[in-house]
């Protein structure tokens, strides 16, 4: 079915237009857009990692959301800006301009339907700037629209408990945390016997406090596998704990956004 990981009673497209029009408090109903990508994640993980994580975390959060909190998910956005991975087969990418236009068009549709709170849960580290620009454009057009673009991992979670110091500082793609989470969400797609580790060369501390590269990069800069980190220590049990903590934090975030009283303004 189309809803995938999302509870069907929280899936907006399953409502008729008349049911949507009859919702009692559309202005404070939170609409959630999970945003991922289809891009290489090394030889051990599927290309759907970011899409799986975004949809899986949103679905788990909505599953435990208090029934009194009005919130609905849109179909996940699975295509994104992944041009840093285009040297690897399986990567499907839009341009930044195309993705921004798509997010703005989706946002316009949400606003036209009478909703005034949109939460974007983005799981791809290569496109937060695009989400930020789309959110700002929507706010400029609609002074009563609250659009929150946020990164899936940037809420309280327990992933750090399992990562060593090097992984916490330098891992960026298909490493320990992502591998553990996919072992929880879609274990049949993971092939740990193919896992390899690669780390980037550390950047001068004058340009990067933790040594993480601050220059523009593409994935093949860090080796031929597409992995940036070490997936070997990952386990399904770790992934389940990480998923549980992310779901709790996102359920709390959805609740807080529902309650948020954010000032409306006249459009210039």
CB of 152 closer than 8 Å to CB of 123: yes
Question: Percentage of the chain surpassing pLDDT 90?
Answer: 94
Question: Is the residue at 2 inside a domain?
Answer: no
Domain housing 177: 25-258
Residue 22 has pLDDT above 80, yes or no: yes
Spatial separation of the C-alpha atoms in residues 213 and 207, rounded to whole Å: 8
Question: Is the residue at 41 inside a domain?
Answer: yes
The whole-number pLDDT of residue 1 equals: 84
Per-residue pLDDT reduced to its tens digit, 155-183: 999 999 999 999 999 999 999 999 999 99
Per-residue pLDDT reduced to its tens digit, 169-222: 999 999 999 999 999 999 999 999 999 999 999 999 999 999 999 999 999 999
Question: Domain tally for the chain?
Answer: 1
State mean pLDDT over 22-48.
98
Question: Is the residue at 217 inside a domain?
Answer: yes
CATH code for the domain of 233:
3.40.50.10310
Question: Is the residue at 6 inside a domain?
Answer: no
Q: What pTM does this model have? A: 0.96
Question: Is the residue at 16 inside a domain?
Answer: no
Question: Is the residue at 7 inside a domain?
Answer: no
């Amino acid at each position: 079915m189309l809803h995938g990981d999302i509870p069907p009673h929280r899936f907006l497209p399953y409502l008729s237009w008349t049911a949507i029009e009859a919702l009692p408090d559309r202005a404070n109903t939170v609409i959630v857009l999970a945003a991922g990508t289809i891009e290489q994640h090394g030889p051990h993980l599927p290309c759907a990692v970011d899409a799986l994580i975004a949809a899986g975390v949103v679905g788990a959060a909505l599953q435990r959301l208090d029934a009194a909190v009005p919130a609905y998910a849109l179909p996940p956005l699975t295509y994104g800006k992944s041009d840093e991975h285009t040297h690897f087969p399986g990567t499907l990418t839009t341009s930044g301009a195309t993705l921004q236009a798509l997010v703005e068009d989706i946002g316009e549709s949400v606003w036209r339907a009478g909703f005034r709170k949109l939460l974007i849960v983005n799981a791809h580290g290569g496109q937060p700037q695009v989400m930020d620009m789309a959110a700002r454009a929507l706010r400029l057009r609609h002074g009563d629209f609250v659009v929150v673009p946020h990164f899936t991992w940037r809420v309280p979670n327990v992933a750090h408990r399992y990562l060593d110091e090097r992984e916490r500082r330098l891992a960026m793609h298909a490493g320990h945390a992502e591998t553990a989470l996919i072992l929880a969400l879609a274990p049949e797609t993971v092939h740990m016997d193919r896992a390899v580790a690669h780390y980037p060369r550390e950047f001068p501390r004058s340009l990067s406090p933790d040594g993480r590269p601050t220059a523009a990069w593409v994935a093949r800069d860090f080796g031929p596998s597409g992995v940036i980190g070490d997936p070997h220590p990952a386990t399904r049990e770790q992934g389940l704990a990480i998923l549980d903590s992310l779901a709790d934090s996102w359920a709390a975030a959805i609740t807080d956004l529902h309650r948020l009283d954010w000032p409306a303004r006249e459009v210039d």
